[in-house]
Structure 1
Amino acid sequence: MQLSNEEEDYNLSLSKFESMLKTNKVLFFDSEEFEEIILHYLDIGKANLAKKALKLALDQHPKSTGLKLVQVEMLVYDDKLEIAEKLLNELYAIEPNNEEIYIQKANICSKRDQHEKAVELLKIALQYTDDYADVYNLIGMEYLFMDNLELAKDSFIKCLEEDLEDQSALYNVVYCFEFLDQNQEAIVYLNDYINKNPYSEIAWHQLGRLHYGVKEYENAIRAFDYATLIDDEFLGAFMEKAKAYERLKKYSEAIESYNRTIELDDATSYALLRIGKCYEKLGNSAKALQYYNQTVHEDPLLDKGWIAITDFHVRQKNFQKALFFVNKALAIDNQNRLYWKRYATINKQMNFFEEAEFGYRKAVEFGDYALDTWLFWVDILQFLGEFESAIQTLLQATEYFPEENEIEYRLAGLYFMIQENTKAKFHLSNGLRLNFDNYILIEDLFPVVWSKKMVKNYIEKHRKE
């Protein structure tokens, strides 16, 4: 690719400057060359070289407003706001119509969280600038800082009216639409934008994302297709397209798109996992297992990978293998509630009740407060004859589910089992009040209690009330 004259001059200036640093010879550069050199070093994070270049620049061009504005930018970058402000005031006295002075003043206000004042200064800059797009973009960012998404959106739209190619403004305007829950309006806006700039892969990709968000998967795929036609290495668009195909249950097409992401970059555990899921949906268990194994090999810390391979073996009723994999997962992360719940469920299926009880206990300990987890745990405690522990566990569960009939019926049954009839009747009344028909739980879970005439009479009495 041929470089433009400007790019060649820029590269020559950089080479000349770096050569000067090595030889300690002082060479002459015009002020604009120095500005480009300094900004280049700032952009790539080499602040020390930028400062060295600025010092040499000001030695050669002590009266250059452009260089002094770069100096202000560097002072702001270093949080030396008072010195920067003083220098700006001096420059303002000389060039009151220089838009960059207002931009830098706004930058200082922004750093001080004075965002409304920053917007006022940027609006003055609009009167003097030729680069409206840049100033509108800066105004939009200030409105974002103030959480005024409507005005931010309007500013980014104005920026794009001035410069259709400004990708950061395009991303920001879509962000504002989404944050304001205006997805359909965003779709209309992007279609209008694409009519003016049909070869913007970013716009097509964002349009696809928005269609996906409102469950218009066919339209999403069409948009992602355009994005990948414009840029056939657009990894994000291939990934999103694959997800849309999955939603449409077009698993072969989804696999093809996920594979394209792997061709473009190193295999990600996410893509491998999704390919495995697609193969499982297609009934190809061998391929599914192959990709699940690759997923956990690629990223042993990804819990979704271990869960997928464990659940696969559970669905195949191969509980021994499922237990093997969930134990491997726990060896890597023994504080993962999802692993512990599966450990418990698998052990329960294999009639290893003490291990299952331990698994449910650990799942709750690490934050699994789902109702079914509490109930499975309690039912196993009851099966093991640990009635007191089961009662304490249920009382703990009532903190999360204070009006849950399944908890109340179990408490009633357990209190009857330990002969605490007053407490049992209290919880039985609660259960009957919350869901009368579910009294069958007493019959199912506590046949000894159900056989008591007193319990049946108590239920009948509530039926008539």
Structure 2
Amino acid sequence: MRENPFSEDREELDELLKQYENLKNGRSHSFLEEDAFERIIDHFDDKDDLPGALEAAETGLEYFPYSSQLLIKKADILLATRKYREALDVLEQAELFDHNDINLYILKTDAYLALDQQEKAVQLLEEALTMFTGEERLDLLFELSDVYDDYEEFDKVFDCLKMILEEDPANEEALYKICFWTDFTGRNEESIKLHLKIIDEQPYNELAWFNLAASYQGLKLYEKAIDAYQYAVVIDEKFDYAYRNMGDAYIRLRKYKEAIESLEKVLELTRPEEVIYEAIGHCYHRLGNFAQARLHYRKASHMNPDDSKLYYKIAATYIAEQQWEHAIKYLENAMRIQKNVPEFNLAMGQCKMAQEKYKEAIQYFGIVIRNKTRNVAGWEALIRCLFKAGYYEEASEQCVAALKATDEKPLFYFYYTATLFAEGRPKEAMLQLEHGMSLAPKLVKKLLDISPVVLQNNQVVDLIARYKKGHKI
């Protein structure tokens, strides 16, 4: 056994390079074999000395003009120097001496793609697939999948990867890639059948379980997805992506406690990420644990202080607790980053309205409407604020504007009714109420919420009762 093979290899290469220099300079030298020229070419190529590599290839071919290997290496260098047509000519010559070298087809493919001749590349690879078996055939299928990817024939990318896995179910590269392409092409049903077959043969293949789960998730079959992810993490307890996706599936099922457990496992296994902290914060928010939600939103915001939505989410937890000043502070942080986001302005307006700062609230609601003219929530908030502040005439005008902007959403007929009654215009109010009831009688609760006093009007009570009798409410 050699004690230091690396050192010996280095010495051999140095001796070859010395003999090569002697050859070029016409000095006495030992005879260089074909494989010696191959090593010399690789040496220059590794050093990014392409002219030197090309010179070595041409020198070698002077001594071994029928060497397909030296021709292929020369073509590879020509491709690297963007001499695509010259490379094709050299590869045609190499093919005369050995047409069974897979590198011929891979390099030809690269040349055709560089010359924007995709059809020739596809035809070449499809023909080559009939000539090779085993690992070489798989290499060609990967190459073909890359060609289809470059030319955006994405279903054919999936087909190539499927063929690879049908021949080699344990191929990790194909298992990793097909997960993405299944999601991209939406071919979840095919993926499920493929991976169930793989699992039947290889029940401890965690990547196959993961891909099966991801396909179920793509079809919104979240329970089945979770079961498959759990098999994946039993096989590989450090499979962080399985825990991550499982957490998402639990969130979709509104199983927030289970989601938190899965996502916390991700934090144990990998470097903390903003998106994981944010997702855990969302779960706590949904569970009504606003302090924990804030804690995790803050952790996310520390990792990405320029994400305005994280400050907004922190503010939302304070709004849920009616802590208006704290909410306003975080909304101001969000709005320093993005000023005119409708959600931010709507929330700020709600805080100001809760503090009875109606004029400020109206300004914020106005920004929402200017930026999103059809935003029902913005119009509703503005009208409610004007009504609460006692600006009944302005509220009526905004009801008319809201009906026009939102293609006559029935909601605004009920608010219009409230404002007309408040203005002392009962006949017009009853007409609007009748119209609203004919369209969406259940929304009468919006009228009673903003103006319960209307129930003192017998006509209003009779009209509501009439719709109740007709079982429309």
User: Matches of 2:179 and 2:269 in 1, distance apart?
Assistant: 26
Residue pair 2:399, 2:415 contacting (<8 A) in 1 also: no
User: Matches of 1:406 and 1:416 in 2, distance apart?
Assistant: 16
User: Matches of 2:290 and 2:344 in 1, distance apart?
Assistant: 22
Match of 2:262 in 1: 257
Match of 2:60 in 1: 61
Residue pair 1:99, 1:126 contacting (<8 A) in 2 also: no
Matched, 1:361 2:360: no
Deviation larger for 91-100 or 236-245: 91-100
Aligned pairs, number: 445
| 1:318 positional shift | 1.5
Deviation larger for 126-135 or 197-206: 197-206
Matched, 1:371 2:371: no
Matched, 1:317 2:322: yes
Match of 2:141 in 1: 136
Residue pair 1:132, 1:162 contacting (<8 A) in 2 also: no
One of 104, 107, 115 as aligned partner of 1:104: 107
User: Matches of 2:455 and 2:287 in 1, distance apart?
Assistant: 47
User: Matches of 1:224 and 1:15 in 2, distance apart?
Assistant: 52
User: Matches of 1:35 and 1:196 in 2, distance apart?
Assistant: 45
User: Matches of 1:333 and 1:309 in 2, distance apart?
Assistant: 16
One of 307, 331, 338 as aligned partner of 1:302: 307
One-letter code aligned to 1:49: D
Q: TM-score, normalised by structure 2?
A: 0.72
SS in structure 2 of the partner of residue 356 of structure 1: helix
Map 1:23-422; keep pairs closer than 5 Å.
30=36, 33=39, 49=48, 51=50, 54-55=53-54, 57-58=56-57, 61-62=60-61, 63=65, 64-73=67-76, 75-76=78-79, 79-96=82-99, 98-130=101-133, 131-145=136-150, 148-247=153-252, 251-280=256-285, 284-367=289-372, 369-381=374-386, 385=391, 391=397, 395=401, 398=404, 401-407=406-412
CA 113–164 in structure 1, closer or farther in 2 if over 3 Å, else same: farther
Deviation larger for 440-449 or 260-269: 440-449
User: Matches of 2:58 and 2:314 in 1, distance apart?
Assistant: 67
One-letter code aligned to 1:125: A
CA 368–200 in structure 1, closer or farther in 2 if over 3 Å, else same: farther
| 1:438 positional shift | 6.1
| 1:71 positional shift | 4.7
One-letter code aligned to 2:36: D
Residue pair 2:402, 2:408 contacting (<8 A) in 1 also: no
Q: Compute the RMSD of aligned alpha carbons.
A: 5.0
User: Matches of 1:445 and 1:51 in 2, distance apart?
Assistant: 79
Gaps (5+ residues) in structure 2?
461-473
| 1:84 positional shift | 3.2
CA 311–148 in structure 1, closer or farther in 2 if over 3 Å, else same: same
Compare CA radii of gyration and give the structure with the larger one.
Answer: 2
| 1:94 positional shift | 4.8
Deviation larger for 307-316 or 376-385: 376-385
| Identity of matched residues, % | 24
Residue pair 2:392, 2:423 contacting (<8 A) in 1 also: no
Residue by residue over 1:95-142, the C-alpha shift from the partner in whole angstroms, topping out at 9 and shown as x without a partner, is 455443333333333345543332211122224334111112223344
CA 368–86 in structure 1, closer or farther in 2 if over 3 Å, else same: farther
Residue pair 1:403, 1:434 contacting (<8 A) in 2 also: no
CA 9–403 in structure 1, closer or farther in 2 if over 3 Å, else same: farther
Residue pair 1:140, 1:152 contacting (<8 A) in 2 also: yes
